[in-house]
Amino acid sequence: MSTEDTANSNENLDKKEKQAKNKNLWKLIIILVILITTLVFSTIFALLNLGKNTIAKGVTIKGIDVSNLTIEEATNKINEAVNVELLLGMRLVYGEEYTVDFDANQVQYSYDVAEAVKEAYSIGKSENIILNNYILLGSVFFGKNVDVKTSYNEESLNGIVEDVSAKVPGLVVQASYNMEGDQLIINNGKAGIVVKKDKLKEDILHNMKERDALKIMQDSQEQVVQIQVENVSPDPIDLQKIYIEIHKEPKDAYFVLEPFQLFPEENGVDFAITMEEANAIIQAENTEEYVIPLKLTPAAKTIDDIGTEAFPYLVSSFSTKYDASNTNRSGNLKLAANKINGTVLMPGEEFSFNEIVGKRTIEEGYRNAKIYENGQVVDGLAGGICQISSTLYNAVLLANLEVTERRNHSFTSTYVPAGRDATVVYGTQDFKFKNSRTYPIKIAANVANGIAEFKIHGIKEEVEYEIKIIPVTTQTIPYQTEYVQDATLTPGKQVVKQAGHSGCKVTTYIEKRLGGAVVSKNVLSNDTYNAMKTIVNVGPSIPTVAEPVPEATPEPAPAPTVEQPSSVPSAEPAPTPPQDPAIGQTPQV
C-alpha cells in the first residue's frame, strides 16, 4: 500500500471515531435531559403533594383505594368496611356433634383505623423531597397498601378457647381419685380427644384478619372454623404420686390471736397395705375403678372444738329456693350440702366441689330427679346437685373469692339468673375456688324448708368491698317446637311432652364498691345457653271422609293437653326462663 493510501485510511478512521463519539455524546445529553426533566417534574409533583390535604394517588388501606381522599373521608370509608367485617358471625364446629357461635365483640376485636389513615396520609409528605419522589412514583405505578393494626382481649379469647376445649364431646378423661371413708377410690382414665388450643386460637385470629369487606358484601354467609383435635390416651396411674399427695400425720387444730392465724386439724392418712400390695391391685386387671384400703388416724382436736370465736365475721351469704315437696330432689340437695357444711379453707387453699362432695351414687343415698340430657328434661341420678354448686358459687362471688374453675349449664336454670350458675359433673366438670382472703374461712351450708343457703364466715379484713353481680343478656335464642307422632293418642289430639324456653347469650360483670362508689367493674364470664325445644306428642291424623255430608258440622280439634311437671320452679332472685304460657312451667333441674 502506498503512503497516500495509508494516509487516507487513517483519515477515514479518525472520522468514524469522531462520529461515534458525537453519537454517544448526544445519547448522554438526551439521557441527562430526560433525567433532569423527570427530576424537575417529580420534584414539582412532590412539592405540590406536600401542600395537598388528601392522600396520594395509588394508596390503599387494607386493599381499599383511598387515593385523593381527605383524612376524614378515608376514615369514614375504612370504618364502614371494617364494621362489615366485624359484624359477620363465626361458628366454631367439631364435626356434626358440637357447634358454638363466636362473635368478635366477645374478645373486643378492633381495628386501629385512625393510625392506618394517618400513615396513608403521610406517604410522600416527608421533609426529604428526593425520597418523596421515589415513594410517590412507586405508589402511582406499583401501588402502596397500608395494613390496619388489630387488637383483641387476649384473656377473653383464651377463656373462649378453654371453654370450647372443655365442652367438645369425647374428651379424654384422666385418672382421678378421691377418698371415701377409709378407702382410696382410684378411677381409671379413658382415651379420648383433646382440642388443639393454639391451633384453634390461631384459626380464629386468621379468619378475622383475612376478612374482606367487599367479598362479605357479596356473600355474607357465616364463617366456619373447624375445631382441630387429636386422639390421646390418659396418663398412667402414678400410685407413688397419689400416695405422696394423700399421706399425712395427724395434727390438732389451733389458732393464735396476734396476728390471727387458724390452723385446722389434719387427720392422719396412710395406706393400710404396703405399696407393693397396692401396686398389685392396680396391675391385677384393667378396670374402671380400683380400691385401696386406708388407715385413718383422727386428730385429737378439731376446728369445731375451737368454736365459732375463730370465725366471728359473716363474709357473705346466698340462698336459693327449691320445691320441698319433691323429696328425691330435696334429699339430693341435703346430701351434697351436708358434705360441704363445716369446710374450712386456709388462705390460698383451693376448694373442689367434686372432691368434697364425692361420687354421686345410689349407695351414698342419691336418688333420681330432673336433669338436662341431650336437649331434654329427663330423670337422672343425683338430679338437683347443680343447685348446690350454683348457690355456693354465688356466695363465693359475693365473698370476693377467686374462682378457678366454673362452667355454665347448656340450658338456663330456674334457681339462679343466667350467668350465675355453676354446673358440675363428677369426673369431668368441677367447680373450684381459692380462699384468696388474708384469713381462713369456714363454709356453713343448710338445706331446709325450701331454702338452700350458704354462709361464708371468717375474719373482717381492713378493706371489705360490697360486691354486685350483674348479668346482661346480649342475645336471645328462640326455641323451636318438635311434633312427634304418638299412636297411643286419639286422632288429632296433642299433648305437650316438654315445655320449651328460649336460650340466650349472657355477659356477667362483677362490680366492686367501696363506700357506695364503684371501684371496679370487670367481665366475670361470657356464657351461651341453648334454647330448649318444645316437644308435642300428636295423635294420628284423622282419616279423610270420602263423601262429606253437607249437613255435618265439623267439631273443633281438642285443645292441647299439658303434662304438668312434678315440681313447681322457684328461683331467687331470677324468674323462670321465658316460655309459651300454653305450655306450662319448667321443672327444676
pLDDT tens for each residue of 538-575 = 988 766 555 554 444 444 433 333 333 333 333 333 33
Q: Over pLDDT 70: what percentage of the chain?
A: 79
Sign of CA dihedral 535, 471, 455, 355: positive
The long-range contacts involving 510-515, CB below 8 angstroms and separated by at least 24 positions, are 510/397, 510/467, 510/468, 510/469, 510/470, 511/467, 511/468, 511/469, 511/470, 512/400, 512/465, 512/466, 512/467, 512/468, 513/465, 513/466, 513/467, 513/468, 514/463, 514/465, 514/466
Q: Is residue 9 part of a domain?
A: no
pLDDT, one tens digit per residue, over 323-354 is 999 999 999 999 999 999 988 898 999 999 99
The amino acid sitting at 157 is: L
Q: Is residue 324 part of a domain?
A: yes
Which of 150, 178, 202 terminates a domain? The answer is 150
CA distance 428 to 405: 12
CA distance 377 to 389: 19
Query: Whole domain around residue 413: which residue ranges?
Result: 311-562
- pTM, full prediction: 0.48
Q: Is residue 191 part of a domain?
A: no
Residue 357's pLDDT is 94
Residue 2's pLDDT is 59
Residue 360: what are its φ and ψ, rounded to 5°? -95, 105
Q: Is residue 79 part of a domain?
A: yes
Question: How many domains are there within the chain?
Answer: 2
Task: Provide mean pLDDT across the span 206-225.
Answer: 85
Task: Provide mean pLDDT across the span 63-79.
Answer: 89
Residue 103 clears pLDDT 90, i.e. is over it: no
Lowest mean pLDDT among 37-46, 146-155, 355-364, 489-498: 37-46
Is the separation of the CB atoms in 172 and 189 below 8 Å? yes
Higher pLDDT, 293 or 375: 293
Higher pLDDT, 204 or 255: 204
The amino acid sitting at 100 is: V
Q: Is residue 64 part of a domain?
A: yes
Task: Provide mean pLDDT across the span 454-470.
Answer: 94
Is the separation of the CB atoms in 415 and 571 below 8 Å? yes
Q: Is residue 584 part of a domain?
A: no
Q: Is residue 544 part of a domain?
A: yes
A 10 A CB-CB count for 81 gives 23
Residue 41 clears pLDDT 80, i.e. is over it: no
Q: Is residue 26 part of a domain?
A: yes
Query: pLDDT band at 584, cuts 50/70/90?
Result: very low
Task: Provide mean pLDDT across the span 522-527.
Answer: 96
Query: pLDDT band at 226, cuts 50/70/90?
Result: very high
CA distance 104 to 94: 20
